[in-house]
Structures are given as C-alpha cells and as structure tokens.
Amino acid sequence: MKRMDIYLAKTVIINSLLVLLVLTILASVITFVGEIHSLSTAYTIVEAARFTLFKIPGGMYDMFTIAVLLGALLGLGELAGHNELTVMRVAGVSVARLGLSAMVGGVVLAVACVLLGELVVPVTEQQAEDRRAELVNARTNALGVGGIWAKDGASFVNVRAMSNRHLARGVYVYDVTPDRQLAKATFANTAVFASQPPELHAVRGTALSVEGSKVFHAQKQDWLTSLNPNIISLFALNATSLSAAGLYEYIGYLRANHLDEARYVAEFWDHVARPVALLLMLMLSLPFVFGPLRSSSTGQRMLVGMLIGIGFYVFNTMFMQTGVVFGLDPFATAWLPTFLLGGISVLAVRRIK
C-alpha cells in the first residue's frame, strides 16, 4: 500500500511540475515579447532577458494552482487510460484511499508553493523591478524618485534612498501637532539602523512654536521611530510581490499608525488561502478521473480543467479587488472563492460511485 501511495503522489507531482514548466515557458515568452517595446541603448535585449528570468518565480507562483489541477488530470487520467486505477480498485482499494494517496502529492506541492512565495518571489520581483526601473526610467534609487513617504506616529517621514540595509540617506521628518499644525521639520544626511535606537547623523532643522521659530543643529541624535529597513523596503514593492511574513509586518506598521490596511490584510489571507486552494483543486480533479467524466478523452478533461482553473484565478482576483474597493471584510474577500471551490469539490467528489 505504501508503494501505491508513493506511485500516485509521484505521478501527481511530476505531471504538475511538467504542466507548470509549460505554462511558465509560455508566460515568459509573452513577458519577453512585451519587453521588446521598451528596448533602448540602456535597456538591451540581454537586460530584457534578465528581467524575464527574474519574473519567472512570480509567474510560477501565480500559476501553481492551475498547474496542479491540470497536472492531476493529466497524470491520473493517464493511469486511468492504462487501466491502472481500475486494477487498484478491483484489488479492493477504495476511491477515497486513492484520492488520499494523490493528496499526499498535493501536500508536497503546496509546501513547495509556500516556500516559493515566501522565500523566492519577494527577492526576485524586487530585483527585476529595480533593475528595469533603473534602466528604463533612469532611476538609480531603489525607493523611486523622491523616495518613500511614511507615517510614523505623529510624524511624517520622507526617506530619499537606502544605500544598504542599515543606512538611509536624505531623511526628512515633519512633526505635527494633534490639530495638524507643523511643529518641527528635521533633515538628516543619513539614518543608521545598525544601532538601537536608530541614529540620525548631520542633523539640522527648525522647531516652530507660538513664540517663533528656532533653528537647531546636531552631529548625531537618537531617532525614536517605528520604521526599520524591512518596512522601508516594503514601500517599494507591490502588495502582490510581498511574502506573507512581509505583509504581516507591514500590516502591524499600518495598524500602529492608524492607516488603512484592508488591501494588505486581503493579500495576506490570499497567501494563506493559496495552498488550501491548491489542495482543493487537486480534489476537484478526482471526479474527472473516477466520476462520470472518466470515459472522456484527455483533451476534453484538460480543456475543462483549464477553464475551471482560469475561471477560479480570474474570479479570485476580481473578487478580492472588488472587495477592497467596496470595503468588504478582507478575510471574507480572500477566503470566499476558496470556500466556494471547496464546496464544489466536496459535492463533486461525493457523486463519485
């Protein structure tokens, strides 16, 4: 029985990775062709190929769920076509037991999907976008033109650039009163995050009060801030490129400063729901192999699977964006498509005879 479990799980994994490879190649070709329109003396075809290469992990992460559905249909359908599944069932193995064996492969793929999204995608997406922006938009600052703006308690902070992980350059801090009046404006050449608390170096600024203004200077002073290099780097990334850990940290920052975090909460729960949706997609493939559609051709099963996978991806993306726009609960916005997929999968599996 253990050998059968390994055999079915291996079949699901290999075929899912094969489908993922094909989908990734197609998406990469489309991305590369789209980049040709941006070619210039600085952004050469080699740089376009480099950009496409670094975008591959993000594309793989987006298509993982669809690939698992199609891979399971392809692998298990091939076993059914060779009557291997029929022999297993004649030997007394139930459909539920066969499905459980296939789900073992799904768990391995779900773990791979999580690791890809948490460890690889945030790094490669940032490198790809920064390099492209530097060459296409002549942007030498990873934080963009003008840097980033952030709310820090009762202050508003503008960080122009990050030289490395522990050193920021061009830091402007504007302190405001509860009635939204400017109380102090501070500029520092650099901010060093290696020490705790962080330090501002080469500081100068102006303090405002009803008595008048006062100019001050300092070579170095402590900076009591909730910002850190991780949070600052998150400002330069799209929400879809962040890992769940990065989103969680950023949500904590937004809540501490009473900022709207709905979009990022929805993205966080979407990351959590993705491996669950992957397993449900695998479950949904079982009726195509064991149910009424088992006699249909591989092409028919793949076509239906492609329509279901793409339909789920489009619905999930549109519903989440719609929920953010109309202020729906972020948890429900992220999980409702997965719950619907789970209900459909359970109903379909229960119809298997």
List, for residues 135-160, the tens digit of each pLDDT value.
Answer: 776 555 556 666 788 888 889 999 98
Q: What is the pTM of this model?
A: 0.82
Residue 264 pLDDT greater than 80, yes or no: yes
* DSSP string computed for 99-112: HHHHHHHHHHHHHH
For 291-331, the pLDDT digits (tens) are 655 566 677 778 888 889 889 999 998 998 888 888 889 99
Q: What tokens appear for 344 in the block?
A: 């459909």
The mean per-residue pLDDT over the stretch 195-207 comes to 91
Q: What is the mean pLDDT of residues 63-76?
A: 92
The pLDDT assigned to 180 comes to: 84
Under a CB-based contact definition with an 8 Å cutoff, are residues 227 and 150 in contact? yes
Q: Within 13 Å and on the Cβ side, how many CA atoms surround 5?
A: 10
**Where does residue 185 fall: left (phi above 0), alpha (psi -120 to 50 degrees), or beta otherwise?**
beta
Provide mean pLDDT across the span 268-280.
94
Distances in Å between the Cα of 15 and the Cα atoms of 38, 79, 197, 295, 301 are: 36, 12, 52, 20, 14
Per-residue model confidence (pLDDT) at position 1: 61
The helix/strand/coil state of 176 is strand
Parallel, antiparallel or unpaired: strands 148-152 and 199-209 = unpaired
Instruction: For residues 228 and 236, give the distance between their C-alpha atoms in angstroms, rounded to a whole number.
Output: 14
Cβ atoms < 10 Å from Cβ of 136? 17
Three-state secondary structure along 34-83? HHHHHCCCCCCHHHHHHHHHHHHHHHHHHHHHHHHHHHHHHHHHHHHHCC
Task: Check whether 67 has a pLDDT greater than 90.
Answer: yes
Residue type, 26: L
b/e sequence 146-167, b meaning 16+ C-beta within 10 Å = ebbebbbeebebbbbbbeeeee
- Res 19: pLDDT: 95
Measure the CA–CA gap between 169 and 202, rounded to whole angstroms. Answer: 11
Give the Cα separation of 207 and 205 in Å (integer).
7
CA dist., res. 292 & res. 353, Å (int): 9
DSSP H stretches of helix in the chain? 2-35, 45-81, 84-90, 95-115, 121-136, 229-235, 244-256, 262-290, 298-325, 330-350
Sketch the domain layout of the chain as residue ranges.
Answer: 2-137+262-350, 148-235
Alpha-carbon separation of residue 149 from 51, 189, 232, 319 (angstroms): 27, 16, 9, 29
Mean pLDDT computed over 165-173: 87
